[in-house]
């Protein structure tokens, strides 16, 4: 199999090479699960909403993986955790630089604020919601990869285009908190760092750890009135 040099070759992505095979109906169900998951999330029920947000996507994904938990989650190594922490700083640096560029260009920045932060509540909420966001990206990536590889038979090219489409859509899902261009460039393309962790390790735990630490760090800084 044609792996990128940075990839861990001990595991591969599910579905795209019929490992296991994902039917067209299965693909539609996984996409539908993303839309369905937003219903309890936006009902804004403390703890339960974010929990269901992740669970509604996780259950069908595991079902089509024949309940093979290891196909998604494995115990991360110390090296993986180190990379996850490093990516937190890389993402914060990237988003800060891009934020200044957008401000200089006179483009709308983020409209969200932190009016009343409860650090414990936000910590618990992020535990579930960040897993949900990672599952959105993983589901989209795997479906795009399956479709593109079916026609191209080129693994590397399929991964590159699948990443691009996934990051654009993920960015567009954040337009409620910023303008379209800011959401796509910062929250969309900025998530490439987390997505690359998954592509390297094939382990959702690794990208999840990095994503959670990123968002909680931002929340914690807001709690300390850094911005």
Residue 122 reports pLDDT greater than 90: no
Per-residue model confidence (pLDDT) at position 220: 76
Let me know: does 53 contact 130? Beta carbons within 8 Å. Answer: no
Per-residue model confidence (pLDDT) at position 108: 62
Per-residue pLDDT averaged across 100-105, rounded?
Answer: 87
Per-residue pLDDT averaged across 65-91, rounded?
Answer: 96
pLDDT in tens, 173-185: 988 767 889 889 9
More confident residue, 184 or 220: 184
**Taking the domains of the chain in order of start, what are their residue ranges?**
24-223
d(CA 58, CA 130): 13
Distances in Å between the Cα of 80 and the Cα atoms of 67, 68, 143, 171, 209 are 24, 21, 25, 25, 10
Q: In which band, very low, low, confident or very high, does the pLDDT at 27 lie, cut at 50, 70 and 90? A: very high
In this structure, of 77-86, 111-120, 165-174, 215-224, the range with the lowest mean pLDDT score is 111-120
More confident residue, 79 or 118: 79
Residue 41 reports pLDDT greater than 60: yes
Going 142 to 148 to 153 to 157, the CA torsion angle's sign is: negative
CB atoms within 10 A of CB 13: 23
d(CA 22, CA 142): 10
Of 191, 67, 205, the C-alpha closest to 140 is: 191
Q: Determine phi and psi for 212, rounding to 5 degrees.
A: -60, -50
* Summary mean pLDDT of the chain: 90
This prediction's pTM: 0.92
Per-residue pLDDT averaged across 11-35, rounded?
Answer: 96
Per-residue model confidence (pLDDT) at position 6: 95
**Residue 47, phi-psi category: left (phi > 0), alpha (psi -120 to 50), beta (remainder):** left
Q: Which residues have C-beta within 8 Å of that of residue 36, sequence separation ≥ 6? A: 56
Residue 111 reports pLDDT greater than 50: no
Per-residue pLDDT averaged across 130-139, rounded?
Answer: 97
3-state secondary structure of 178: strand
DSSP state of 155: H
């Amino acid at each position: 199999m044609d792996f990128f040099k940075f990839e861990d070759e001990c595991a591969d992505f599910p579905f795209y090479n019929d490992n296991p095979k994902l039917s067209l109906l299965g693909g539609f169900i996984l996409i539908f699960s993303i839309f369905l998951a937003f219903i309890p999330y936006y009902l804004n029920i403390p703890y339960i909403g974010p929990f269901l947000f992740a669970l509604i996507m996780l259950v069908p994904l595991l079902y089509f993986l024949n309940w093979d938990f290891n196909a998604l989650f494995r115990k991360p190594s110390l090296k993986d955790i180190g990379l996850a922490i490093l990516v937190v700083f890389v993402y914060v640096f990237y988003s800060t630089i891009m934020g200044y560029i957008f401000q200089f260009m006179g483009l709308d920045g983020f409209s969200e604020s932190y009016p009343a932060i409860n650090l414990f509540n936000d910590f618990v909420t992020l535990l579930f919601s960040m897993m949900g966001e990672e599952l959105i990206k993983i589901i989209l990536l795997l479906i795009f990869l399956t479709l593109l590889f079916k026609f191209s038979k080129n693994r590397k090219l399929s991964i590159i285009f699948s990443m691009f489409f996934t990051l654009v859509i993920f960015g567009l899902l954040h337009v409620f908190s910023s303008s379209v261009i800011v959401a796509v460039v910062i929250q969309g393309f900025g998530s490439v760092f987390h997505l690359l962790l998954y592509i390297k390790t094939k382990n959702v735990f690794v990208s999840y750890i990095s994503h959670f630490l990123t968002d909680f760090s931002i929340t914690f800084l807001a709690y300390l009135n850094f911005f």
